[in-house]
Structure 1
């Protein structure tokens, strides 16, 4: 079956966006669309230019017999700033304040559009890293981790507080909570990670960083590597933070339970080394 060029462009674009970071050979497209590789190459030039102009992402070409093209999620700086400012506005609503100074985030973590924004932002921060898997801790970080994984096209592993029969053999560690200074436990199935895997740690909220630091210690038990740390919200009122190298989207600067006010600002996203379109 012979495809019109307009049909090829639409179908190729859809396939690339649905399979980010996957290396696709030109022969694959040429066979599907019954077209010459030269025509496919011309199509990919058009798609790449459109992706970059619209701030959707870019196409990376890998030369050689085993090469091809892969779609990489990317953002324009103006779009990233707009997305994070929107998140700050939502997190800053006084109605989110809970007893004890906690923030209600369940609605945002359950909204597909908001999650997609969070995932795209964090994916953009780490797209240059060689990431094999994303790690998070149960429970609120799971949805964010999957949102990031969707843009990076990698699997997710979930660290739990206790072992489950369905997990099989597990590895557990004890760690000290950064804020409460209590001893807690982390458990991960032995089948979850391969040795020397490059892992991106994702969490919904970081105060002193005890949970993230615990995940880093757990990775050492698997001989795995920390490729990066991404956090949705960080607390500014922490003196003895256990984690230094991380990327945050939103910073919680002040919580006043008496006056029922919340103050937030941009996280360190733009302070870290970012690459935008």
Structure 2
């Protein structure tokens, strides 16, 4: 029978918990793994919690009851994300990101594993205390940040497609009007993807007028799903009146002048 020292147990527990955020572990799991008493395992959890809270790396939540246990919440404070948010905001203001046609290039940020993970964690922060069954996004470049948000919330990711795929069986499709270009587009979701009456969080990388998000909300209604939160990486300052109202964004694009090479980006108030 192996005997583990405290630093070994704490290190292993922290690794397991941090690799599996928002996953409930019964204390017996660790007691059996390390051959320790309940009191010892509880002390180990207290040490881990005190350290990660001290440095702002999250927190350990204890769930009481027969089916209870502990779970790791990856973000309990925005303090440690201040420099990250400022760096990303500064990077987004680089005039070289302007693409002809008035588009903003963000692919390098969204597809960076380190950046996408932190953006996903930030987008998950307002919804950590809510009961969420799925994170839902559309078939765009925002998939990585939606996946990281789903990981932080420990729920599956569902991707709405622009066209139905025969490999996914029967689908529900709707037409919607894009908020900025006023074009009629379609989106589709397999009937097997989403259980009825699920609670979902909608995530997207960019929002101008909110047409795509509104379309996603209408599609969720077809499944009788409840939208408990909406998060986007970047929203535009104009138009001021969006097709949706209750959402959070990390950054606000205040101005983009393609001719003069000017981008003005602002950090959203709730992050400040």
Is 1:229 the counterpart of 2:238 in the alignment? no
Counterpart in 2 of 1:118?
119
The alignment partner of 2:270 has SS state of coil
TM-score (norm 2): 0.96
CA contact 2:59–2:76 (8 Å) conserved in 1: no
Alignment of 1:95-134 (within 5 A): 95-134=96-135
2:23–2:72 CA contact under 8 A, matched in 1: yes
Q: Deviations over 1:35-83 (max 9, x none)?
A: 0000000010000011101111111111222211111121433223322
Distance change >3 Å, CA 166–CA 268, structure 1 → 2: farther
CA contact (8 A) 1:234 1:267 kept: no
Task: Give the number of equivalent residue pairs.
Answer: 271
Residue in 2 aligned with 1:254?
255
Q: In the alignment, what sits opposite 1:179?
A: 180
**Partner secondary structure for residue 271 of structure 2:** coil
**Which residue in the other structure is 1:275 paired with?**
none
Counterparts of residues 257-272 of structure 1 (less than 5 Å): 257-270=258-271
Task: Give the whole-Å Cα distance in 2 for the aligned partners of 1:227 and 1:145.
Answer: 15
Q: CA RMSD in A?
A: 1.2
Q: How does 1:1-277 map to 2 (within 5 A)?
A: 1-270=2-271
Q: Which deviates more from structure 2 when the two are superposed, residues 167-176 or residues 116-125?
A: 116-125
Structure 2 unmatched runs, 5+: none
Per-residue deviation, 1:149: 1.4
Select between 31-40 and 78-87 the one with higher mean Cα deviation: 78-87
Q: Give the drift of 1:268.
A: 4.1
Could you tell me whether the CA contact under 8 Å between 1:233 and 1:251 is conserved in 2? Answer: yes
Residues 248 and 268, structure 1, Cα contact 8 Å, conserved in 2: no
Kept in 2: contact 1:144–1:204 (CA 8 A): yes
Gaps of 5+ in 1: 272-277
Specify the SS of the correspondent of 1:240. coil
Q: TM-score, normalised by structure 1?
A: 0.95
**Structure 2 CA distance, aligned partners of 1:9 and 1:234?**
41
Q: Which runs of 4+ in 1 moved over 6 A?
A: none
